[in-house]
Amino acid sequence: MPMARLVEENTMKRTAIALSLALSALSVSAASAAVITSEGVEGPYYHSEYSAAADGREFLVEVRGVPFAGMSQEAFDQALMAVLMSARPSQPAAQFTTRPVSGNVDPAYRLVLVFGPARNLAFETQCRGVDKARFEPVATGDVKVSATFCRKDDLMSRAIARTSATNIDDPAFRQMFVELFPVLFPLRNPLQDGDNNRRSHRRR
């Protein structure tokens, strides 16, 4: 076989392999990306307020609903806390828990997560009475969560996230929260003037 043809065939093979790998990586990336909608913050939201309540402290999480078959609410909640801890930014270093065991927690603040929420579930309901939350069926392999950051009964921020995940160890499930945290706890509030970080006190 002429050398020029051999070089051409090898080049074509390398190009085909590279294209296949690129398409595979794109497919994995697309599959693991979450879809986030209805996101936003309320006027009273300040990131510094969340940071003061969460950094180095236990932070209460209320969970309703289980997106994966075969798991009890208790087992899911426990596994979910580990996912949240691994997915959150390094700062503030919130210690997410459904059952605070120390006095180092501010009960005025909490993260509320409702899995499989009804389409007409109001975000305010999650802050004021999560036990009144309504649910609707979600197809197997699909995960939908309505997330709210609450200060007592007041809604501070909210978002709805969706992804495809087969179980709680699915990387796509963790990735959903990696993408959700900066949306739910943004550094700045577009409804406020100036630098949010200058607010160091918390309103009750």
* Complete DSSP assignment for 15-83: HHHHHHHHHHHHHHHHHH--EEEEEEE-TT--HHHHHHHHTTSEEEEEEE---STT--HHHHHHHHHHH
pLDDT at 32: 61
What pTM did the predictor assign? 0.80
For the chain, the domains span 1-32, 34-198
Write the DSSP symbol of residue 130: G
Q: pLDDT per residue over 180-197, tens digit each? A: 999 999 999 998 865 444
Taking Cα atoms as reference points, which of 131, 118, 147 lies closest to residue 38? Answer: 147
Predicted local distance difference test score (pLDDT) of residue 199 = 47
Low-confidence ranges of the chain (pLDDT < 70): 1-32, 193-204
Q: Which secondary-structure segment (H or E) carries 8?
A: helix 3-32
